[in-house]
């Protein structure tokens, strides 16, 4: 059985998954902390494998995508030291199977490309991926599997923190589904504004992207930490997959396995 370790480093959280062949057997989400040392990361990986009753010595391959450059040296060093594997790092030179139509393809975040690969594999093309992460991002892929580009907006959590920081009388609130649009106090009014404001933003932007793509049967896939909260109210979302990036990392690893001799 081929054992693959996939690591997705986001601005807020890092997702880690262990695959047995094509099957994701274990996954975790931890806080992204760029100050961690090589040994701290290594010991964390060891503890995860121990908890999952998996032998870290049996890992056949490792793949990483990251949007946090300061963490990459210590993370790759930890993988080399504790797993004794040279990881594939998603970036220029790594085969993905999609054409990037961005003005400068190097500017596209690795996580966006990985999500596009995963969405095409699982749901086909054309597809729009909405990622409710630190930023709320929209990625458009046409029926030819061309990555057309997308939209980047401040995430719902960033907006909530900015409101708290810049408005001295407004409290920090929990981001939850409100009972109605009209808030009856300051807290519920803020929660309503955040929730329904982002809901309207998502539906409007997706509608505009669909009109601009001029394609039929476009699937809209949501992922990221807040996708589960928003999805029941997002009429435009067809599928929700919180593990989209890990699944995409698996696909990219197998595309590159022989090329990179890993």
User: How much of the chain is in helix, strand and coil states, percent to nearest 5?
Assistant: 40, 25, 35
**DSSP state letter for 110:** H
Q: Please state, in angstroms and rounded to a whole number, the distance separating the CA atoms of residues 181 and 97.
A: 43
Among residues 22, 111, 131, 216, the one annotated as catalytic is 111
Annotated catalytic residue 111: yes
Q: Which has the closest alpha carbon to 136: 193, 197, 202, 196? A: 202
Both tokens of 34, joined, read 């760029």
Residue whose tokens read 């793949």: 63
Give SS3 for 97. coil
Helices and strands, number each (H, E), in the chain: 7, 11
Give SS3 for 262. coil
| Catalytic (active-site) positions | 111
């Amino acid at each position: 059985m081929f054992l693959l370790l996939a690591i997705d480093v986001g601005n807020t959280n890092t997702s880690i998954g262990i695959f047995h062949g094509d099957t994701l057997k274990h996954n975790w989400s931890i806080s992204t902390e760029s100050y961690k040392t090589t040994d701290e990361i290594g010991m964390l990986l060891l503890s995860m494998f121990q908890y999952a009753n998996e032998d870290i010595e049996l890992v056949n391959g490792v793949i990483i995508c990251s949007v946090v450059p300061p963490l990459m040296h210590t993370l790759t060093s930890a993988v080399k030291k504790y797993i004794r594997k040279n990881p594939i790092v998603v970036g220029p030179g790594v085969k993905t199977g999609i054409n990037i139509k961005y003005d400068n393809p190097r500017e596209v975040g690795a996580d966006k490309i990985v999500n596009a690969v995963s969405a095409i594999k699982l749901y086909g093309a054309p597809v729009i991926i909405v990622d409710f992460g630190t930023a709320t991002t929209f990625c458009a892929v046409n029926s030819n599997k061309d990555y057309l580009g997308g939209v980047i907006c401040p995430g719902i959590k960033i907006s909530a923190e900015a409101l708290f920081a810049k408005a001295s009388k407004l409290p920090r609130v929990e981001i939850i589904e409100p009972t109605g649009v009209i808030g009856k106090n300051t807290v519920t009014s803020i929660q309503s504004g955040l929730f329904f404001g982002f809901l309207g933003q998502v539906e409007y932007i997706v509608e505009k992207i669909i009109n601009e793509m001029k394609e039929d049967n476009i699937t809209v896939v949501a992922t990221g930490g807040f996708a589960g909260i928003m999805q029941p109210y997002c009429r435009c979302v067809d599928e929700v997959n919180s593990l989209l990036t890990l699944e995409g990392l698996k696909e990219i690893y197998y595309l590159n396995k022989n090329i990179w001799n890993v």
